[in-house]
Structure 1
Amino acid sequence: MTRNWQDIAKAKQAALFKSIPKEWLIPADLMPSESQLDVTGFPKESGFFTGNELKYTSATIPELLQKIHSGQWKAADVAQAFSKRAAVCHQLTNCLSETLFPEALKRANFLDEHLAKTGKPVGPLHGLPISLKDNFNIIGKDSTIGFVAWVDQPATYNTVLVDLLTKAGAVLYVKTNVPTAMMIAESVNNTFGRTVNPLNRRLTSGGSSGGESALISFGGSVLGVGTDIGGSLRIPAACTGIFTLRPSFGRFPTALAKSGLAGQEAVNSVNGPMARSLDDIEFFAKNVVGAEPWMLDPKCLPIPWRPVDVGKKLRLGVIWNDGMVVPTPPVRRALKHAVEKLQQAGHEIVDWEPELHQEAVDLLGEFFLADGAKSVRDILAPVDEPFREEMQAYSEAQEIGVHAMWQLQAQRSKLCKDYLDRWTKAGLDGILCPTTPFASVEHGKFKHVGYTGVFNILDYSAVSFPSGVAADRQLDKAESGTKPLSQDDAQIQAEYNAEAVHGMPVSLQLVANRLEEEKVVAMTRVVLEGLGAAV
């Protein structure tokens, strides 16, 4: 008898859970109650982890590499510790889509043996555990990206980035959950269900790289890789208070990764690092670019990682709102605080009106729906999987045709030229703005990707970083009586719940021009110094 999509999904979830070793299953007497919202303290407070496991999973990347490469720590022990912490995080947040625990241990043992025999590491990432978003193909593992029909369809080839990281010595141990087709700003799908935020399980960890953000903020990964086509790196990073870099297309390899909108190249998907510090973000960037990925991916640009001096004083444009949605009170306060601190530090801050932002966001939506959602329908159809309610726009989309698509692309090219001209005339180093309207938000309530999506259309480099400000129920009370900028704005302000997001970290976004990854990282460092925030 043919199984329905619900049965397939249940079986896949059961298989994922079964892949967790029994000794890593949280005992009933230690399992946090559903009412315990913040579970990030569980590893240290529960007694479920050994001292060494906590030591390994709390170490910085430089410390991990120094200890492993010197032989003081075994790559196998580190891999086991991160695998266990990831398994525990999954039980508390539903963050994983695939596990590679036996493969990771085998790989780490090989690395230890190689180091013992030769005295040399395999590469600069020798022994470093790295987690990957679900769409990165790994031979023998599914890349469902949330689609039930892609369950039990293991990859027969690796994504280019997988081979690059492996050659550099990395240990790949988990893949992480995403929304259906990676086209929802919260990580929820019919195959695995919803990933929750470990800082507050009633709130979203964002999307589409929300499994990664949950895992990293829990300490189950020190470095993960996600993707971004409308904010899918920056939104989840902001929801969990971690760092990420959205690079311009061509800096990091994207070849042979899986997509729910394969062939849609009017706005390109990019991948980038997610981590707990800016140093770790730069570490990933330098090593990936240093591996000359343009020799493996024909769309990668042969640009080495370049030294850059941004000086001590920056000229930044600040976007207080994007003309479509006003940020919620915690984000407004964080942005105001940042501007005041940067001005005190001697930086020049000018107001930057969001001209062309509405047009850019409209274009983004039209590009995503241009095929009338045929790509998504064709994937859903074999198992009669329905559209999720979050993808209503796809269920109603109509194909626009080639000529109309060409006109949209011509409009996009003109918009990019007009924006660049305005940027150049203003003499900006960068733009400071919200990453999202939210610190985070309750499940099902994330709306508006305008603050991120505009820079996908422009293909600008951007870093999302924790501002050092946390949402506060007293300082960030809801306001009333202001005229909304749009229907979404009215709903977002009406739904804002200061109590629900109390204590959540607030992130901001720093944007540089196209292909200025080195500059945006360097500028973020200067901004963080001005804010007195952690790098």
Structure 2
Amino acid sequence: MKAVDSTANWEAIAAKKQASLLAAIPPEWRIPAELLPPVSKDDISTFPESSGWFTVDELAITSSNAVELITRLASGELTSVEVTRAFCKRAAAAHQLTNCLSEIFFDRALETAVRLDAYIAREGKPLGPLHGLPVSLKDNFNLVGLDSTVGFTSHAGHHAEEDSVLAELLRDKCGAVFYVKTNVPTAMMIAESVNNLTGRTVHPMNRKLTSGGSSGGESALIAFGGSVLGVGTDIGGSLRIPAACTGLFTLRPSVGRFPTGRCRSGLPGQEAVKSVNGPIARSLADIEYYCRAVVGRQPWLVDHECIPIPWRDSMAPLLPASSGPLSEARKLKIGVLWHDGMVRPTPPVSRALRETVDKLKAEGHEVVDWDVGKEHALGLQLLARMFIADGGKAVRAELEKTGEPWRPEMVFYAAATELGCSDLWKLHLERRAFQQRYLDKWNESGIDAILCPTTPWAAVENGKFSHVGYTGVFNVLDYSCISFPSGVMVDKAIDLPFSDATGYKPLSETCKTVQGEYNPDIIHGMPVSLQLVARKLEEEKVIAMCKMIMG
């Protein structure tokens, strides 16, 4: 892909970048004009199966989960070249229909696949636990020779000179094949994936809806079938929000579990609340497999911020002394956060929460209300104050380089006032006190996990995502979280809007806006996700508990 001249006006840079992305798709993978769905067609998720453009083998490969493909790749039943080609083609289609990619490098991917096929033929064994599997990466993961713009026009054309630590580990020690990077919002600090450089990513099941942010390029790509396993980041919900919008699984790990070195940040130097990275996929088994693969490569040897904790197959607080199967595990004590004190979940999310609680009770688990008063509102305020502690200078500096305007979603940053060092230190003390109060409450209650919404919505129209309280608070706490599809689908006949007649009273002006904009007709049939939260560094436990809840 040709470099973009970042000395030009931002609009010219954006036009060149968008054109170069389309040019990177080879002619044979450009959707024929006669098959291209009209702009008016909202649901394009079934295009691969209904268009006749994909072969039976391509559909079978791209419809499989990661663990299935890895097994077949390791046995030699499938080659990396044929798997990579299938995902390249489907990713190309995904981008043409949802605008989900920020970098396309299919030739490089196929060269890697050829080398991996030669390796397994020569050595008789796979290179690593992800041998030959195409893995998509969020835009901010550096790969040599490619952009990592994080949504700024000023970064276009300034190619990375070194790979991120995680990318090196996944490729060199696990055997992954990289083929695309995915779209993000400006500075990765908007809950929808929209920026002035590459534009807006939309939801494949309904292009009037958002795929979330900031890892929304990943969620759209995976939901369309253009990737089987992707890696995103999360600083306030940036993995969980897009996963919830599209009905996928994701894990938000605690700081130090996975390597973050040599990645590009939208707010470089901001460490009051740290960004983490994690997998996003269509199955929980794929999430767990990825975690084992990465932690099993001892990432603490290559990233000084990684904590040297091997993957723990059974955590004592969850499983019985006999370490029997999960079906023999002791019953859980779950705290249910029905709302966060700021915004009530919309009707389908409330229904999914009720039905999941009823199921847990029927299975003998103990369920208690999780009421922490105004703590979540305080936690969200802390998050917001930490994000803008520099007075928005980091974002403003990048925008001014090319004359790029502020996105309307980022007025919060544009109007911010910089904190002095003394005030920042005081903010850190407030954060520490909040974290300790929450831990004390958790210990007093004896719960294993919190069950709550991931977002107030099952899905939301483009431009209307307005509350990150259900995710962002747990970034401040640094807790291990999973967003998972509950199995409930939005039903416009059942999930009627709240009203005075149903006893609804808004918790805030934002709550009033969220419920007022709720439109069951447009999100009918969408999957509803929930969030399961464990304490810090309990990734194994939260995955095991999610298995139990879904099982």
* Aligned match of 1:533: none
1:244 corresponds in structure 2 to: 250
| 1:129 corresponding residue in structure 2 | 134
Runs of 4+ in 1 over 3 A off after TM superposition: none
Counterpart Cα distance in 2 of 1:488 and 1:256: 37
Normalised by the size of structure 1, how large is the TM-score?
0.98
Cα deviation, 1:476-524, whole Å, max 9, x if unaligned, reads 1112223211111111111111111111000000000000000000000
Deviates more, 1:441-450 or 1:50-59: 50-59
Q: What residue number does 1:281 align with?
A: 287
Report the alpha carbon displacement of residue 62 of structure 1 after superposing the two structures with TM.
2.4
Cα deviation, residue 3, structure 1: 2.7
| Residue 517 of structure 2 is aligned to residue 499 of structure 1 | no
Counterparts of 1:8 and 1:124, CA distance in 2 = 39
Match of 1:232 in 2: 238
1:74-153, aligned counterparts within 5 Å? Answer: 74-153=79-158
The answer to whether the aligner puts 1:527 opposite 2:546 as a matched pair is no
From 366, 370, 376, the counterpart of 1:348:
366
2:321 aligned partner: none
Q: How far, CA to CA, are the matches of 2:408 and 2:34 in structure 1?
A: 37
Amino acid aligned to 2:530: L
Question: TM-score of the superposition, structure 2-length normalised?
Answer: 0.95
Q: What CA distance in whole angstroms lies between the structure 2 residues aligned with 1:202 and 1:136? A: 28
Matched, 1:259 2:299: no
Q: Name the counterpart of 1:369.
A: 388
Q: What is the rounded CA distance, in whole Å, between the counterparts of 1:351 and 1:275 in structure 2? A: 30
Other-structure match for 1:199: 205
Matches within 5 A, 1:480-491: 480-481=499-500, 482-491=504-513
Offset at residue 312 of structure 1 (A): 3.8
Matched, 1:477 2:496: yes
Higher mean C-alpha displacement, 54-63 vs 419-428: 54-63
Distance (whole Å) between structure 1 residues aligned to residue 206 and residue 136 of structure 2: 22
Give me the whole-angstrom Cα distance separating, in 2, the residues matched to 1:203 and 1:214: 11
Partner of 1:33: 38
How far apart are 1:413 and its partner, in Å? 0.4
Distance (Å, rounded) in 1 between the aligned partners of 2:65 and 2:98: 23
d(CA) in 2 for partners of 1:66 and 1:362?
A: 46
> Structure 1 unaligned runs (5+)?
530-535
Corresponding letter in the other structure for 1:12: K
**Deviation for aligned residue 1:65:** 1.6
Secondary structure of 1:467's counterpart equals strand
* Deviation readout 1:347-399 (Å, 9 max, x if unpaired): 11000013311110000000000000111111111101111000010110110
In structure 1, distance between residues paired with 2:538 and 2:27: 47
Kept in 2, the 8 Å contact 1:65–1:127? The answer is yes
- Residue in structure 1 matched with residue 217 of structure 2 by the alignment: 211
Match of 1:532 in 2: none
Query: For the residues of structure 2 that align with 1:136 and 1:295, how far apart are their CA atoms?
Result: 19
- Name the aligned partner's letter for residue 355 of structure 2: H
Determine the structure 2 residue equivalent to 1:446: 465
Does structure 2 retain, via aligned residues, the 8 Å contact 1:83–1:220? yes
Q: Is the 8 A contact 2:144 2:161 kept in 1?
A: yes
Check whether the contact 1:329–1:477 (CA below 8 A) recurs between aligned residues.
Answer: yes
Provide the aligned C-alpha RMSD in A: 1.0
Distance 1:62 1:358 in 2: 40
Tell me, yes or no, if the aligned pair for 1:312 and 1:526 is still in contact at 8 Å.
Answer: no
Which digits, 9 at most, give the CA deviation of each residue in 1:45-68, with x for residues without a partner? Answer: 111111111121112222212222
Identity %: 59
Aligned partner letter, 1:247: P
Q: Which residue of structure 2 lines up, in the alignment, with residue 71 of structure 1?
A: 76
**Matches of 1:341 and 1:125, distance apart in 2:** 35
Q: Is the 8 A contact 2:67 2:285 kept in 1?
A: no
Q: What's the CA shift string for 1:410-447, capped at 9, x where partnerless? A: 01001111100110010000000000000010000001
Indicate the residue corresponding to 1:300 in structure 2.
306
CA–CA distance in 1 between the matches of 2:293 and 2:121? 24
Q: Secondary structure at the match of 1:274?
A: strand
CA distance in 2, matches of 1:171, 1:43: 22
User: How far has the Cα of 1:33 moved from its partner?
Assistant: 1.7
Which residue, out of 53, 56, 67, partners 2:61? 56
Quick one: which of 402, 412, 420 aligns to 1:393? 412
| Partner deviation per Cα, 1:452-483 (whole Å, 9 max, x = no partner) | 00100000000000000011111111122232
Match of 1:402 in 2: 421
Q: Which amino acid aligns with 1:6?
A: E
Task: Please say if residues 29 and 93 of structure 2, whose CA atoms lie closer than 8 Å, have aligned partners that are also in contact.
Answer: yes
Distance 2:61 2:521 in 1: 35
Which residue is equivalent to 1:383? 402
- 3-state secondary structure, aligned to 2:436: helix
Q: Which residue of 2 aligns with 1:318?
A: 336
Alignment partner, residue 518 of structure 1: 540
Unaligned runs of 5+ in 2: 319-328
What one-letter code is carried by the residue in structure 2 that aligns with 1:505?
P
Instruction: Give the structure 1 partner of residue 325 of structure 2.
Output: none
| Letter aligned with residue 224 of structure 1 | G
Deviation at 1:110, TM superposition (A): 0.5
- Write the distance in 2 (CA, Å) between the matches of 1:193 and 1:223: 23
Aligned length in residues: 529
Give, in whole Å, the separation in 2 of the partners of 1:471 and 1:57. 26
> Residue type of the partner of 1:487?
E
Q: Tell me the SS of whatever aligns to 1:316.
A: strand
